[in-house]
Amino acid sequence: MITKAEEADGPAINHIAASIDLFSPEEVKCVAELWREFTQKGPEASGYSFLILKEDGVVKGFACFGPRSLTQSTFDLYWIAVDPKAKRNGVGRALMEQVEKEVAGVGGRLLIAETSGQEKYAPTRAFYEGIGYCREATVRDFYAPGDDLVIYTHPLL
Amino acid sequence: MITKAEEADGPAINHIAASIDLFSPEEVKCVAELWREFTQKGPEASGYSFLILKEDGVVKGFACFGPRSLTQSTFDLYWIAVDPKAKRNGVGRALMEQVEKEVAGVGGRLLIAETSGQEKYAPTRAFYEGIGYCREATVRDFYAPGDDLVIYTHPLL
């Protein structure tokens, strides 16, 4: 079941972020900061919305998204993460479908997902490509030397 | 003369932003918000640095830049604006050179400048291309339908 995240889901969200091998300590900290902003200010003032997927009452994954400032109805997918023990069960795909519905429901027009071009992110890129996202652009050496930014886009209308 | 901006330069900076026809009201407001963050928190905590170019004591242009989170030494040029009455005097070019020096001086590796693909931004793109920036990537319809994001990059090392 996918629902909007509530305050009590914070520990599970942060725990999942910390359990993702690909996430650096800075990235885990960034998830925690966005979560704090979201719980303190709410989705509108913070600009962040969180969805969670629960199975038998246990959070198996989450997604965080929000509107991109200075654009007309473009939204960023900031984070998506699935409990490593729950992989290959369609959790990520189900979360993305709900993110798309939520974003389209508030008039969102374009969803942007950014990831790394590193070899270890090949499964992440395969995930976006598998759900039909367009590999729209690459910024070489963006994250670090040899670590490109890859921008995926998905039109919603 | 190019210097770091001080609190007293705020009105001139906001005045120049408001005088740029290309800037939307939201963009002028964004400049003001970044300026407020910068003056309240300082460059490190806010993540924003401002440089100004003065001629005869009058601010003719400004630039705002800062480190991009979750990257290794990549910096964003957030804003550059030149008093329309001072155009074609090399103010923009001089500001960019100083931004590059400042960023390189704190270990910056890559400078990113984002702009629009719209026809009315052709002079802005020509400016970046004229100073040797690489037109690295395009995200179609990013700002609005028909209004692409164009990403320029410039390596600093």
pLDDT (0 to 100) of residue A119? 98
Model confidence pLDDT, tens digit, residues A85-117: 987 789 999 999 999 999 999 999 999 999 999
CB contact residues (below 8 A), chain B span 82-141, against chain A? 109-110, 112, 136-141
Model confidence pLDDT, tens digit, residues B12-63: 999 999 999 999 999 999 999 999 999 999 999 999 999 999 999 999 999 9
Model confidence pLDDT, tens digit, residues B90-141: 999 999 999 999 999 999 999 999 999 999 999 999 999 999 999 999 999 9
Amino acid making up residue B112: I
Residue with more model confidence, B157 or B99: B99
**Residue A91, helix vs strand vs coil:** helix
* Residue B139 in tokens: 């995200």
CA B142 – CA B145 distance, rounded (Å) = 7
Nearest to A108 by CA among A70, A61, A157: A157
CA B1 – CA B55 distance, rounded (Å) = 7
Contact A54/A3 with Cβ under 8 angstroms? yes
Question: Is the Cβ pair A71, B140 closer than 8 Å?
Answer: no
Predicted ipTM? Answer: 0.95
pLDDT (0 to 100) of residue A157? 74
Q: List the beta bridge partners of residue A4.
A: A51
Amino acid making up residue B2: I
Q: Is the pLDDT of residue A137 over 80?
A: yes
Smallest CA–CA distance, residue B135 to chain A, in Å, is 10
CA angle (B129, B72, A16) in 5-degree steps: 125
Interchain CB contact of B72 with A (< 8 Å): yes
Count of positions (residues) in chain A: 157
Q: Is the pTM of this model over 0.90?
A: yes
